Amino acid sequence: MLLQEMPADNKIIIELSIKGQKFEFPSKVVSQGNNSIFIEPIRINGKVLTFNSSESVAVNIVMIRENKSPMVWKGVGVACVHEKSGSFYKITASGEGFEINRRGAFRLFVGISGVAQLGINRKAVDVIVKDVSENGFSFVSSEDMENVINMPVRLVFNDFNKNYSLMGIIVRKVIINETKVLYGCQLSVNNSQLEQYINQKQRQMLSMNRDNSAFKNKEMLEKALKEPERTDNKEQPEEDDKNYKSKSIKNDGTYKDRAINRVGKTERRDIFREAVSGKKV
């Protein structure tokens, strides 16, 4: 599908990637142009956000389709145009869009203090709100709490001089280090204020001066709360052993039940030849 084939009033998402930070903003198509579309712009404090070509900003456009997977155009061109009817973004793309799977919602890093109440009879604990999304949230605590998976939790925090309360179910627990444990939660009760908060928070982050101490402190905190990388536990392939026949193998099923990637290529070749010739392996 070509970009200009997108119908007017179609809802879209503007994805921004700026120096490792990712943002998402809702928008919609206003009209089509020659190999382009015009969409509603992002506004911060009433002003249209412009894109400086010298900045390392990557922009994707995601088309929302009812009962179908979204489509994305990556690395699109963005130009701000001003007309009598208002200001718009002119979007151009060099190729066609393709379908994507967006089962995992966009997560916005927050990094502020909060309080989590786990279960019914457990005490409230001080936490750091790590991130929020349209269908979940996560927080980091210094306490390693047992038997919390599938436990209900209420997270309360204050931002923009307003209290936010999120209800969810703990679905995962990750030990970051000896003093930090992350708890990932799925929303159990929809919060009408959450989408508005995410948009407001993203606008705040975009308006921050990246050279000031507040932005640098945010980056340091985000790195400190980063989950450890998962290790690959897959078995490594066995080195080719051309002398495997001279080695004794216990008669305990080990020979026949070994995974194929634990058998050297010489042994695999001999097994295949014997199987084809009808010999008993």
Query: What span, in angstroms and rounded, lies between the C-alpha atoms of 260 and 152?
Result: 44
> Are 142 and 218 contained in the same domain?
yes
CATH of the domain at 209: 2.40.10.220
Query: What span, in angstroms and rounded, lies between the C-alpha atoms of 169 and 183?
Result: 10
> Are 220 and 237 contained in the same domain?
no
pLDDT, residue 273, reads 64
Query: What span, in angstroms and rounded, lies between the C-alpha atoms of 4 and 2?
Result: 6
Residue 166 above 60 pLDDT? Answer: yes
> Are 145 and 90 contained in the same domain?
no
pLDDT, residue 131, reads 94
pLDDT, residue 263, reads 56
Query: What span, in angstroms and rounded, lies between the C-alpha atoms of 96 and 228?
Result: 36
> Are 140 and 62 contained in the same domain?
no
Mean pLDDT of 116-143: 92
Listed in sequence order, the residues at least 6 apart from 274 whose beta carbon sits closer than 8 Å to its beta carbon are: 280, 281
More confident residue, 174 or 265: 174
> Are 119 and 203 contained in the same domain?
yes
pLDDT, residue 250, reads 44
pLDDT, residue 176, reads 93
Number of domains into which the chain is organized: 3
> Are 141 and 185 contained in the same domain?
yes
More confident residue, 103 or 169: 169
Per-residue CA distances from 226 to 115, 175, 177 (Å): 20, 11, 10
Mean pLDDT of 162-179: 93
Q: pTM of the prediction?
A: 0.60
β-pair partners for 43? 48
Domain end marker among 224, 240, 263: 224
Give percent above pLDDT 90 in the chain.
Answer: 43
What integer best gives the mean pLDDT of the chain? 82
Q: What residues make up the domain containing 15?
A: 3-99
- By the 10 Å C-beta count (0-12 exposed, 13-18 middle, 19+ buried), 90 is classed as middle
More confident residue, 237 or 208: 208
pLDDT digits (tens, 9 = 90+) for 11-50: 999 999 887 788 889 999 999 998 899 999 999 888 999 8
Place of tokens 């280090």: 177
CB 10 within 8 A of CB 68: no
> Are 211 and 176 contained in the same domain?
yes
Mean pLDDT of 158-177: 94
Give percent above pLDDT 70 in the chain.
Answer: 78
CB 35 within 8 A of CB 92: yes
- Reading the block at residue 172, the tokens are 């995962």
> Are 265 and 200 contained in the same domain?
no
Query: In the chain, what is the straight-line distance between the N-terminal and C-terminal CA atoms, in Å?
Result: 54
> Are 42 and 80 contained in the same domain?
yes
- Reading the block at residue 67, the tokens are 């009962």
pLDDT digits (tens, 9 = 90+) for 57-110: 889 999 988 777 889 999 999 999 998 889 999 999 988 898 876 556 678 899
pLDDT, residue 241, reads 54
pLDDT, residue 14, reads 93
pLDDT, residue 93, reads 93
pLDDT digits (tens, 9 = 90+) for 197-210: 998 998 888 887 66
- Which three-class secondary structure string do you get for the chain? CCHHHCCCCCEEEEEEEECCEEEEEEEEEEEEECCEEEECCCEECCEECCCCCCCCEEEEEEECCCCCCCEEECCCEEEEEEECCEEEEEEECCCCCEECCCCCCCCEEEEEEEEEEECCCCCEEEEEEEEEECCEEEEEECCCCCCCCCCEEEEEEEECCEEEEEEEEEEEEEEEECCEEEEEEEECCCCCCHHHHHHHHHHHHHHCCCCCHHHHHHHHHHHHCCCCCCCCCCCCCCCCCCCHHHCCCCCCCHHHHCCHHHCCHHHHHHHHHHHHHCCCC
> Are 89 and 133 contained in the same domain?
no
pLDDT, residue 237, reads 42
More confident residue, 63 or 51: 63
Beta pairing class for 180-187 and 47-48: unpaired
pLDDT, residue 213, reads 80
- For the ranges 26-30, 69-73, 260-264, 271-275, the maximum mean pLDDT occurs at 26-30
pLDDT, residue 219, reads 83
Residue 246 above 60 pLDDT? Answer: no
CATH of the domain at 22: 2.30.110.10
> Are 81 and 168 contained in the same domain?
no
Query: What span, in angstroms and rounded, lies between the C-alpha atoms of 77 and 74?
Result: 9
> Are 123 and 218 contained in the same domain?
yes
